[in-house]
């Protein structure tokens, strides 16, 4: 079997990839680095020069060749590599007639626990949304603690330490009181706190026993993340921005997280994510795959989730339901009361519809940053 063609498909806010072979088997992948899809497309075209005529079964070899052939590395290159890697695993599974999880060591579970994000930003609205999700069978939800990241400018209250931390704590308190004890709260901070704020907030919500505190500070300094982790009883989760397995190793060595968040479409695909899961397992750390993208990303995550013993819970994008994105594939994911059933079809278990780009016109995400009340820029 040989690779004959690569086709990039820009649909909605996503960039998908199809890799064709001379035996009629096609694999699908998806790009990360949303907001920079044009740059990623250029990398895919560069990769195509190498991949033409190659054996698609050699995923590990091709991954290493493409990774090590680039003098420069970064999120755009790794996101393109991720799409290629996922598509190659998909081809191999289809050719052998088995789901990818069989190639990764076999299935550890039949379905995966999942959660959706609560895109509400006042304590009252967040509490009501948590109650709605619980009524639908979910037993966990992700709270956007630091507010609406789509807003361009923060209010003056965001400059007042006590006011800001008190407001954050009240959000968690309202949600816990609304759903009771049989429900997990995931606290998403979007990297927008400084270490002092993160520690004060964590101490203020420890009594509500959240599942984990996600990216309380920017992930650039493992030492700072480790310092925050050491000052709270709440487990820290991080890793969604990482683009190599060494970043995860550093976090594990520093004991900076009890949950790691590899992104299959940003880290380089299924190949490195399986390695991160093994590294985490050796350190008694659980895996919560980051998944803010389309159905190919979700499908790849599910294959990884099925095959690793230290899986914890799976992020399921809210817009899969709200944006009719279940119609992007020939069959939707099967959900059962807050769980997603592992697909058993060969490969990653899904197929994109033929007229995807026509039904979902390209609408690439813009890049943006938030400004503070005084006009300065801060991380979101």
Indicate which residues carry an active-site annotation.
190, 290
Q: Is 203 exposed, middle or buried (0-12, 13-18, 19+ CB in 10 A)?
A: middle
Helix (H, G, I), strand (E, B) or coil at 221: coil
Helix (H, G, I), strand (E, B) or coil at 283: coil
Residue that the structure tokens 């060595």 belong to = 253
Helix (H, G, I), strand (E, B) or coil at 326: helix
Q: How many angstroms separate the CA atoms of 23 and 56, rounded?
A: 11
Q: Is 11 exposed, middle or buried (0-12, 13-18, 19+ CB in 10 A)?
A: buried
CB 30 within 8 A of CB 13: no
C-alpha count within 13 angstroms, C-beta hemisphere, residue 198: 31
Q: What is the DSSP string of 163-217?
A: HHHHHHHHHHHHHHHHH-SSSEEEEE-TT-S-HHHHHHHHHHHGGG--SEEE--S
Q: Cα 170–174–177 angle (5° rounding)?
A: 135
C-alpha count within 13 angstroms, C-beta hemisphere, residue 270: 33
Task: Name 113's bridge partners.
Answer: 339
Residue that the structure tokens 């499908």 belong to = 299
Query: Please, what is the angle between helix 75-96 and helix 37-51, to 10°?
Result: 50
Q: Cα 370–372–375 angle (5° rounding)?
A: 100
DSSP 272: H
Cβ neighbors of 200 (< 8 A, separation 6 or more) are: 161, 165
């Amino acid at each position: 079997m040989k690779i004959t063609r690569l086709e990039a498909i820009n649909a909605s806010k996503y960039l998908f990839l199809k890799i064709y072979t001379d035996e009629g088997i096609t694999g699908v992948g998806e790009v990360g680095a949303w907001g920079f899809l044009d740059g990623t497309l250029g990398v895919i075209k560069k990769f195509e020069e190498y991949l033409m005529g190659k054996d698609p079964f050699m995923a590990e070899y091709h991954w290493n060749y493409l990774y090590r052939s680039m003098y420069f590395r970064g999120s755009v290159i790794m996101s393109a590599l991720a799409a290629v890697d996922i598509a190659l695993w998909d081809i191999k599974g289809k050719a052998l007639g088995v789901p990818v999880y069989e190639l990764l060591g076999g299935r550890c579970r039949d379905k995966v626990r999942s959660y959706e994000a609560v895109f509400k930003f006042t304590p009252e609205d967040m509490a009501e949304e948590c109650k709605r999700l619980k009524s639908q069978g979910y037993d966990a939800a992700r709270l956007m603690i630091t507010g609406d990241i789509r807003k361009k400018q923060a209010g003056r209250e965001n400059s007042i330490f006590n006011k800001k931390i008190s407001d954050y704590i009240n959000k968690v308190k309202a949600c816990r009181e609304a759903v009771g004890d049989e429900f997990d709260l995931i606290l998403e901070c979007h990297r927008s706190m400084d270490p002092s704020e993160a520690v004060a907030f964590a101490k203020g919500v420890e009594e509500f026993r959240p599942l984990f505190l996600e990216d309380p500070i920017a992930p650039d300094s493992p030492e700072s993340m480790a310092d925050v982790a050491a000052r709270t009883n709440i487990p820290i989760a991080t890793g969604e921005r990482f683009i190599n397995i060494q970043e995860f190793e550093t976090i594990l060595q520093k004991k900076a997280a009890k949950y790691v968040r590899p992104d299959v479409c940003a880290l380089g695909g299924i190949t490195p994510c399986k390695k991160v899961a093994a590294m985490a397992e050796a350190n008694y750390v659980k895996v919560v795959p980051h998944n803010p993208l389309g159905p190919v990303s979700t499908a790849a995550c599910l294959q990884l989730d099925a095959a690793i013993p230290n899986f914890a819970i799976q992020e399921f994008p809210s817009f899969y339901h709200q944006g009719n994105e279940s119609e992007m594939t020939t069959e939707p994911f099967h959900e059962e009361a807050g769980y997603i059933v592992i697909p058993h079809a060969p490969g990653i278990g899904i197929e994109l519809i033929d007229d995807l780009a026509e039904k979902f016109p390209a609408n690439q995400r813009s890049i943006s940053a938030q400004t503070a009340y005084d006009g300065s820029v801060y991380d979101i």
